[in-house]
Amino acid sequence: MVQYLAKRIGRSVLTLFIIVTLVFCLLRLMPVEGYFANYEKMSEAQIQAGLQAMGLLDPLPVQVGRFWRNALHGDLGVSHIYKVNAPVTQILAQKLPISVQMGVLAMLLSLVLGIPLGLIMGQYKGRWPDKLGTALIVLIQAVPAAVYFLYIQMYGTAAVGVGLLFNAANWRYWVLPVCSMSLANLAFYAMWLRRYMVDESNKDYVRLARAKGVCGRDIALHHVFRNAMVPLVQYIPSAFLNTVVGSIYIESLYSIPGMGGLLVTCVQRHDNTMVQGIVLLYACVGIVGLILGDILMVLIDPRINFGKKEGGR
């Protein structure tokens, strides 16, 4: 297990380096006005002097090395457009807590509703609970998310009694965004848990338990459900962390001052330094989620041994 984790961490560090370096290099191909708040009023000499002061006229390998050296010391540079001369880490520290709170609530809601829904659908395969659950999942996945997000905002705003401007101090403003963010994961957990439970229910150990006269509910809860959760659980940390860093569309839709809206704003305003920092954060979150998923699988199912053939049982 330790050897496997060491390999995964090494590969993850290499992947993170490649992703962020590619984004860094691509951003250097963007117009230079993303580094100046008053670009239109500056002369060519002032622009060149500013680029020289920021080290943007140095060879690209030198710039990449400088970026990673500063990043390892917790310095991601300063914003040039979004908040002039404000450290990127400081801006991220202000935006991240709201996205974390909203992501945690959305993830808990999706788990609380999605897993029982999948359990019921798997237990009552082919009957009306399964058909109703399947219809709900198909509706969520077939209809474009932007469509039902707009309907939720349109009809839910009046029902909950909130305005269009987000107010973090009022719990009512959290209801619609949290519900919207939880729908995709809710459908995902219910659909795959049902599938895994149906697969498990056809295996020999289930048939043996039925032949022994074990109660069908006990088989579903203590045997089928436990084994069906093993392949599903590896996706929970990754989905959780991705939800925590914010939904770009939902945060923009509800004017939530979180990470998702920050990314949209920085891309629109060409604040290249901010985009670099946000991409680094998102890449770290995705990679950590995948590693935690593998660890969680081992903790739940002791039969899994990643030390043999990269995850063989």
State the CATH number of the domain containing residue 127.
Answer: 1.10.3720.10
Position 162 in a domain: yes
Q: Which domain holds residue 251?
A: 91-268
pLDDT of residue 313: 43
Residue 70 resides in a domain: no
The model's confidence at residue 132, banded by pLDDT at 50, 70 and 90, is very high
130 belongs to a structural domain: yes
**Cα–Cα distance list, 254 to 109, 183, 249 (Å):** 19, 16, 9
When mean pLDDT is compared across 110-114, 235-239, 286-290, the lowest value belongs to 235-239
Instruction: Give a yes or no: residue 85 inside a domain.
Output: no
In a domain, residue 59? The reply is: no
Whether pLDDT at 1 is above 80: no
**pTM above the 0.85 mark?**
no
C-alpha Rg value of the chain to the nearest Å: 24
Q: Would you say residue 42 lies in a domain?
A: no
pLDDT score for 32: 78
Does residue 43 sit within a domain?
no
154: CB partners within 8 A, 6+ apart: none
**Three-state secondary structure of the chain:** CHHHHHHHHHHHHHHHHHHHHHHHHHHCCCCHHHHCCCHHHCCHHHHHHHHHHCCCCCCHHHHHHHHHHHHHCCCCCECCCCCCCCEHHHHHHHHHHHHHHHHHHHHHHHHHHHHHHHHHHHHCCCCHHHHHHHHHHHHHHHCCHHHHHHHHHHHHHHHHCCCCCCCCCCCHHHHHHHHHHHHHHHHHHHHHHHHHHHHHHCCHHHHHHHHCCCCHHHHHHHHHHHHHHHHHHCCHHHHHHHHHCCCHHHHHHCCCCCHHHHHHHHHHCCCHHHHHHHHHHHHHHHHHHHHHHHHHHHHHCCCCCCCCCCCCC
**What's the chain's length in residues?**
313
Half-sphere CA count of 283, side-chain side, radius 13 A: 18
Amino acid at 154: M
- The mean pLDDT of 221-227, rounded to a whole number, is 78
pLDDT tens, residue by residue, 70-81: 888 888 888 888
Number of domains in the chain: 1
Residue 312 — very low, low, confident or very high, per pLDDT cuts 50/70/90?
Answer: very low
- Evaluate whether 260 touches 177 at the Cβ level (below 8 Å): no
User: Is 34 inside any structural domain?
Assistant: no
Spatial separation of the C-alpha atoms in residues 15 and 95, rounded to whole Å: 26
